Amino acid sequence: MSECIQLSFAVCRIGIYTCFRALCCKGPPPPRPEYDLVCIGLTGSGKTSLLSQLCSETPENIVSTTGFSIKAVPFQNAILNVKELGGADNIRKYWSRYYQGSQGVIFVLDSASSEDDLETARNELHSALQHPQLCTLPFLILANHQDKPAARSVQEIKKYLELEPLARGKRWILKPCSLDDMEAVKDSFSLLINLLEEKDFEPSRM
């Protein structure tokens, strides 16, 4: 009986030692991959507010971007270094100067905007989709301000932007969003990360 007890204690000690080594000698987790993205859209589309919320910044500190800003947006499986470009008329003509080195594109539009602004947004998106430095990159297109009464549906926006003929064969996602549902925004960014990792992507996802 005493030999059995001693053997049990020995087995327990080995088990405890193994668990201790697993917990204490595991080492730091592998670093998350980082991706450099460019975020574009007209003034008032909500780019700054969405990115600031993703970075857990307080609303009082949010100021509309007039030139450009860079935010490191953390996710569980990646870090997105997002270069946000101001959307004013006098700044949009310089957008292309900041495209170099981008690995993906975030385009934000106000789904409740006027017809004139929506047409301008469509033209800017078409220009970006065809730009030599962006045309092969994955696009996340966010139809923002879905909480507003005048917001157009994703199907309406998709048809108006003429995405099917223009972006056929490209990697893009069109998703509705608003500050009221940041979980949905995070899910949209997770889909973009999948495209950046080239995991089972299908062109023209919605």
Would you say 195 and 104 are in contact if contact means Cβ atoms under 8 Å apart? yes
Would you say 50 and 186 are in contact if contact means Cβ atoms under 8 Å apart? no
The total number of residues written for the chain in this structure: 206
147 is in an annotated binding site: yes
43 is in an annotated binding site: yes
CA-nearest of 148, 150, 197, 146 to 174 is: 146
42 is in an annotated binding site: yes
101 is in an annotated binding site: no
44 is in an annotated binding site: yes
129 is in an annotated binding site: no
Lookup: tokens for 37: 């993205």
Instruction: Quote the CA–CA distance of 152 and 156 in Å, as a whole number.
Output: 6
Instruction: Quote the CA–CA distance of 134 and 57 in Å, as a whole number.
Output: 29
Would you say 113 and 121 are in contact if contact means Cβ atoms under 8 Å apart? yes
Helix (H, G, I), strand (E, B) or coil at 110: strand
Q: Dump the DSSP string for 128-171.
A: HHH-TTTTTS-EEEEEE-TTSTTPPPHHHHHHHHTHHHHHTTS-
87 is in an annotated binding site: yes
65 is in an annotated binding site: yes
Q: Which residues are annotated as a binding site for GTP?
A: 41-48, 87, 144-147
Q: Which residues are annotated as a binding site?
A: 41-48, 65, 87, 144-147
Q: Which residues are annotated as a binding site for Mg(2+)?
A: 48, 65
